Amino acid sequence: MTKQGEIAIEFTHVQKKFSGKAVIKDLNLAVPANQIFVLVGPSGSGKTTILKMINALIQPNGGEITINGKKITEYRVQDLRWQMGYVLQQIALFPNMTVAQNIAVIPEMKKMPKKKIKERIETLLAQVDLPAAKYAERYPRELSGGEAQRVGIVRALAADPPLILMDEPFSALDPLSRTQLQKLVLRLQAQLHKTVVFVTHDMNEALKMGDAIAVVHHGKIQQVGTPREVQLHPATEYVARFFADTQKRDLLGATLAEIITTQAAQKIEATPAKPVAAQATILDVSGQLSMGKVIYTQDEHGNYWEITAATVLQFLTLEERKDQIDVRKEKV
Ligand SMILES: Nc1ncnc2c1ncn2[C@@H]1O[C@H](COP(=O)(O)OP(=O)(O)OP(=O)(O)O)[C@@H](O)[C@H]1O
Ligand SMILES: [Mg+2]
């Protein structure tokens, strides 16, 4: 059992080549115990490779990895994997097994008593808002993407491993389910204090989820730090650019509800024919706006608002300026 502040996983001069090409180059990384440690980087940067070296699905060509101070090569593979839950990007439930059977796989292999497994399934399903009475006997095909991914999380937690590996667990989900599951994992973590290695290519998700973040690019660590450190003091030009890009993309994800709280939008008295839901994002309506259409939305008090391309442009300008001011304030 690891304590707060201890190092759970350590990479020392690790390298990995695929067909002669170095994908991971001289990786040195210490993952603290009982925290969420995020690996963030673009596609192909080597995140999954790093994660799979932790559970020995991939063997390094050089260097050393230790788990709780013991070399990975000194563990029996089975013992190693039994202390790790693994949540994959693609929803990977067994299609011919029910939710309960899917969750019970590892606990049964570990010979946990049947009664205890049943109790554990019920408790965990309740924690992710999937009451066992309703969901335990369903098959994966009878679940939504978000529900299936929640079952995936429960399955990783079922045998109570101290370490959880999560490889882009939410990237296949719509923004709303994604936000819900991020909150869910943070809520669970506040109770469970597992050592979590969380992979994502989304900087916003990294900032939200990570106690610490490591930015990976071309198989090298660019920077390790708290979200605040990485955000305010990017160590390399690459990290700074990664942030700038994320912020721009983030603005396009702003909702109409956010726009109408600023001075940019105009309230109207008439009742429009087809108002757009206030939860729609700039990206959702950008097609209509760029064709010169005027769109309408309704706030929670029942008032209607008019939104044009000019409104959005003004909103984006206002937000951009606000960001600059925020950053300047932080630096003072
Ligand atoms: N088994 C393999 N054989 C050959 N090349 C591989 C293999 N696995 C991964 N690679 C290569 O190694 C590099 C890193 O891959 P990896 O899967 O670790 O990236 P990633 O950061 O997880 O990307 P993504 O965000 O797209 O999942 C890529 O260039 C990939 O093509
Ligand atoms: Mg990957």
For ligand 1, atom 3, the nearest C-alpha belongs to 18
Do the beta carbons of residue 9 and residue 195 sit within 8 Å? Answer: yes
Do the beta carbons of residue 89 and residue 172 sit within 8 Å? Answer: yes
Ligand nearest to the CA of 202: 1
Q: Which H helix or E strand runs over 165? A: strand 163-167
Q: Where are the domains of the chain?
A: 7-233, 253-331
Buried b (16+ CB within 10 A) or exposed e, 299-329: eeeeebbbbbbebbebbbeebeeeeeeeeee
Mean pLDDT of the chain: 89
For ligand 1, atom 24, the nearest C-alpha belongs to 43
Do the beta carbons of residue 181 and residue 130 sit within 8 Å? Answer: no
* C-alpha of residue 116 to centroid of ligand 1, in Å: 39
* C-alpha of residue 31 to centroid of ligand 1, in Å: 21
Ligand nearest to the CA of 49: 1
CB 23 less than 6 A from any atom of ligand 1: yes
CA distances to 78, 160, 330 from 72, rounded to whole Å, are 11, 20, 42
Quick one: 7-233 is in which CATH superfamily?
P-loop containing nucleotide triphosphate hydrolases (3.40.50.300)
- C-alpha span between 282 and 303 (Å, rounded): 20
* Distance from chain centroid for Cα 170: 6
For ligand 1, atom 17, the nearest C-alpha belongs to 48
| Closest ligand 1 atom to Cα of 45 | 21
* Length of the chain (residues): 332
For ligand 1, atom 14, the nearest C-alpha belongs to 46
Q: Which of 15, 49, 90 gets mutated to test ligand 1 (max ligand atoms within 8 A of its CB)?
A: 49
Task: Give me 178's structure tokens.
Answer: 């994604």
CB 48 less than 6 A from any atom of ligand 1: yes
Alpha helices in the chain (DSSP H): 47-54, 77-82, 99-109, 114-127, 132-135, 145-157, 175-192, 203-209, 227-232, 237-252, 256-259, 282-290, 309-331
CA distances to 22, 24, 65, 308 from 17, rounded to whole Å, are 4, 7, 16, 52
pLDDT band per the 50, 70, 90 thresholds, residue 49: very high
For 107-164, how does the pLDDT look when each residue is reduced to its tens digit (9 = 90+)?
998 899 999 999 999 999 998 889 999 999 999 999 988 899 889 999 998 988 999 9
pLDDT > 90 fraction of the chain, expressed in percent and rounded: 62
Ligand nearest to the CA of 217: 1
The pLDDT of residue 330 is above 60 = no
* C-alpha of residue 47 to centroid of ligand 1, in Å: 8
The pLDDT of residue 41 is above 80 = yes
pLDDT band per the 50, 70, 90 thresholds, residue 264: confident
* C-alpha of residue 114 to centroid of ligand 1, in Å: 39
For ligand 1, atom 29, the nearest C-alpha belongs to 44
CB 222 less than 6 A from any atom of ligand 1: no
pLDDT band per the 50, 70, 90 thresholds, residue 184: confident
The residue behind tokens 């309506």 is 285
- C-alpha span between 104 and 132 (Å, rounded): 13
CB 200 less than 6 A from any atom of ligand 1: no
